[in-house]
Amino acid sequence: MLQIRPPLQASTTKYAQQLRRGFRWLRFDAPLEAEYRAYSHSDEYVRVLWFSALCLLLWGGYGLFDLWRIDAARLGAGQQPLLTALRVTRVAVTVAIALVLVGALWRAPMRWLHGALMGLGVALSCGAAFAVYAYKVFGVPHETAVLVMIMLGLFSPFAINLWAQLAMAALYLACVGALAWVAPQPEVQAQMLRLGVELALAALVFSFAAYWREHQRREQFLYRGDAHWLAMRDALTGLYNRRMFNHHLEQVMAQARREGQPLALLIVDVDHFKAYNDLHGHPQGDAVLQQVAQVGLACIGRPLDIAARVGGEEFAVLLYGSSAEHARALGQSLVAGVRQRALAHGASPVADVVTVSVGGAMVQPEDRPQTLFARADRVLYQAKNNGRDRCHWEAALQA
């Protein structure tokens, strides 16, 4: 089937770079790996919940079935301890399933849940192998491999990853081997060994499926991450784009109103940029925009602060919870920061180096995003008219 993929060649996001490098061992570079884990945990609780409920139904069903199939009265005295062991195993595995179910319901930490899930995988498969062994010793008719296959097959789509799947298979095989070792009759021994071989093959197939499944999931994550990043960001500077800025401004204004926090908006515009472009060319102009973006980024520090490219050579910096004095000081340091980059202009009547003008406004209770933006923009043009290379604020805030 033809799969349509977004073109990655042009993308330089960390997602695209990882895709190009590949991830044969199902591991990304450290920061991306942490992001992937947070992403993959988000829908895992629901998956684990469904899985444990299904296990409870199947395992519990088989347990009840035992009451009807195994006639305790007809077993010899020597077989009673094995029956007790089977019942204890049934209860222990049921408790293990219930623990995972409760863990998923109560949203236990995912690290804990992963451990419990692996334990459950081992308990389920070894428990099933033990049940097969006990049936065989009792001479109860049974569908040996089917029972165990169901347990393993059921577990595999939910297996945490390839490594967990392999570890579980190894433990399972050890368990079958031990049962073959202690089996009293040769035909039980042969049965357990056959089961071991069948399950070694099954484990191989399931491990491959687990690898493929996780590889697909990781690839999806990278494609989505790349597309998401490109939809929110400006490709040249890496800052948020206008669309994202508008969205964030709306959210943050509502929050500032709710929490009674101050909010400052600074609009930054490169001075005489057309002349710069005409003299040095567009690629050089692009490099200047990247430098200005870095200075803008350095101004933000709190979680809700944002720096964005909102036009060709226009940037916006939003400062949440920042007092008017602090915002004004940041505006001044932004102007000074661009100057300090000492990027030779050569066509500006303002200075020898590239400069910016900044217009700032504090949010007012009656403001809407558009009115706040328009006010800051108006002040920016005052700064332009007053000579550029400066930061201006609304009259109430001017020094």
Ligand X SMILES: Nc1nc2c(ncn2[C@@H]2O[C@H](COP(=O)(O)OP(=O)(O)OP(=O)(O)O)[C@@H](O)[C@H]2O)c(=O)[nH]1
Of 290 and 364, nearer to ligand X (C-beta) is 290
User: Does position 214 bind ligand X by CB under 6 A?
Assistant: no
Of 196 and 285, nearer to ligand X (C-beta) is 285
Residues 260-299 that bind ligand X (CB under 6 A): 269-275, 277, 282, 285-286, 289
User: Does position 312 bind ligand X by CB under 6 A?
Assistant: yes
Do β-strands 356-362 and 314-320 pair in parallel, antiparallel, or remain unpaired? Answer: unpaired
Of 195 and 380, nearer to ligand X (C-beta) is 380
Of 89 and 357, nearer to ligand X (C-beta) is 357
Spatial contact of 167 and 118, defined as CB atoms under 8 Å apart: yes
Residues 327-386 that bind ligand X (CB under 6 A): 384
Task: Provide, rounded to whole angstroms, the least separation between the CB of residue 384 and ligand X.
Answer: 5
Task: Provide, rounded to whole angstroms, the least separation between the CB of residue 359 and ligand X.
Answer: 12
Task: Provide, rounded to whole angstroms, the least separation between the CB of residue 338 and ligand X.
Answer: 13
Q: How many CB atoms lie within 10 A of CB 114?
A: 16
Cα→Cα distances 85→42, 79, 131, 133, 312, Å: 39, 10, 10, 11, 75
Task: Provide, rounded to whole angstroms, the least separation between the CB of residue 112 and ligand X.
Answer: 49
Of 194 and 384, nearer to ligand X (C-beta) is 384
Of 127 and 359, nearer to ligand X (C-beta) is 359
Task: Provide, rounded to whole angstroms, the least separation between the CB of residue 275 and ligand X.
Answer: 6
Alpha-carbon gap, residue 314 to 380, rounded angstroms: 10
User: Does position 237 bind ligand X by CB under 6 A?
Assistant: no
Alpha-carbon gap, residue 15 to 2, rounded angstroms: 22
- Say how many Å lie between the first and final Cα of the chain, rounded: 67
User: Does position 247 bind ligand X by CB under 6 A?
Assistant: no
User: Does position 44 bind ligand X by CB under 6 A?
Assistant: no
Beta carbons within 8 Å of 12's beta carbon, 6+ residues apart: none
Residues 179-208 that bind ligand X (CB under 6 A): none
Question: Total residues at the site for ligand X (CB under 6 A)?
Answer: 16
Residues 134-163 that bind ligand X (CB under 6 A): none
Task: Provide, rounded to whole angstroms, the least separation between the CB of residue 279 and ligand X.
Answer: 11
Sign of the CA dihedral with 52 first, then 58, 64, and 69 last: negative
Task: Provide, rounded to whole angstroms, the least separation between the CB of residue 380 and ligand X.
Answer: 9
Q: How many CB atoms lie within 10 A of CB 310?
A: 22
Of 139 and 312, nearer to ligand X (C-beta) is 312
Of 44 and 269, nearer to ligand X (C-beta) is 269
Task: Provide, rounded to whole angstroms, the least separation between the CB of residue 290 and ligand X.
Answer: 10
Beta carbons within 8 Å of 187's beta carbon, 6+ residues apart: 136
- Site of interaction with ligand X (CB under 6 A): 236, 269-275, 277, 282, 285-286, 289, 312-313, 384
